[in-house]
Amino acid sequence: MDRRSGKILLVLAAVCLVVGGGYVAIAALGPSETTTDARPQATEVLSRTHVMVRAVDPKKPTLNGRVFVVDRGQVRQLPGDIACERVYYAGGEGLCLGVAPSGVDYEATTFDSRMQPQDKITLTGLPSRARVSEDGRYGAMTVFVSGDSYLQSPTAFSTRTTIVEMATGKQIAQLERFDVSKDGKPFDAVDFNFWGVTFAKDPNTFYATLGTGGEHYLVEGNVRDHSMRVLRTGVECPSLSPDNRQIAYKSRIGDSERWRLRVLDVATLKDHPVAEDRSIDDQVEWLDDDTLAYSDGTNVYTVPADGSGEAELLVRDATSPVRLNAGQELPGFAR
């Protein structure tokens, strides 16, 4: 390189270093948070509701939100530092997915009935779904990962779903490694993606979504056997009712990124829509055998499962509704 252009380049590099370094330094010194102190607000739609939610800051919906209990119209913040993007709690075990304190990656935290963090698991992608079996034995979490897509596009996404033993925080199974059958025959393809696990009363049985070749299958799986079988198509993010007789799910409209909520009968696989007529991208929760709760990203709504009535606002500025069963003790909250 000739001397003059070399000098110009050196000056440019120095300018870039000062500008870039300065910008980063100012950004680093400025306020940069990963957790919001936003509080949800309850409505009095269902006076008998006992539900755990994660608070959402409507202006910054992806900051980790604190965990609250909504108890007969009263909102109470649970103690401790637990804050998440997705939360679930059952059988005395909680699962919280969110941005790690570093702000660089994501982690899952298990917590107990005193809201004390137990184990931490580094996530390989962006949090999507979290569930815990009714007895608190297993947890399931789905994350979005980039980089291993069909046509090698670095920005395309696939999902990864892991089963966790809640007591130890160990990841005991990856759904991607399960054997899948369809119509009694082995079923496998390069673009298999699993998401949205829901556990049955026997926690070894679960339901989930298998996405492949543009189809979204409802699968029934077994944790112990590492096996799954396809039940039907057109079902995403299944959620079993407490009596295990119905599954609420989101049903994609054509090939779009829009969904309608529907409920199907596990025995007959027949389904019907519910009264919510907006597009909802959430894994629905059952408040009881007749009532659904779900979030549109900023508020929690409720609607009857049988298709009657209409959708009603339940909690403002909250997502991740979790049914709290009788006998579940939480600090400052006893039923």
Nearer to another protein, 158 or 302 (CB): 158
Near another protein by CB under 8 A, which window of 172-180, 200-208, 233-241, 301-309? 172-180
DSSP of 262-313, one letter per residue?
EEEETTT--EEE-S--S---S--EEEETTEEEEESSS-EEEEETTS-S--EE
Question: Contact between 253 and another protein (CB under 8 A)?
Answer: no
Near another protein by CB under 8 A, which window of 17-25, 41-49, 111-119, 198-206? 17-25
Q: Which of 3, 47, 213, 326 binds another protein (CB under 8 A)?
A: 213
Q: Which of 43, 116, 118, 171 binds another protein (CB under 8 A)?
A: 171
Nearer to another protein, 170 or 201 (CB): 170
Question: Which residues touch 240 (CB under 8 Å, ≥6 apart)?
Answer: 198, 199, 200, 207, 246, 247, 266, 286
Q: Which of 3, 47, 48, 104 binds another protein (CB under 8 A)?
A: 104
User: Distance of alpha carbon 28 from its chain centroid, rounded?
Assistant: 30
Q: Are strands 170-174 and 157-165 parallel, antiparallel or unpaired?
A: antiparallel
Secondary structure of residue 76 in the 3-state scheme:
strand
Q: What is the size of the binding site for another protein (CB under 8 A)? A: 61
3-state helix, strand, coil in the chain (%, to 5): 10, 50, 40
Please report, as ranges, the residues that interact with another protein according to CB under 8 A: 1, 5-6, 8-10, 12-13, 16-17, 19-21, 23-24, 27-28, 30, 32-34, 61-62, 99, 102-104, 122, 124-126, 144-157, 160, 162, 171, 174, 176-177, 186, 188-191, 212-213, 257, 281, 297
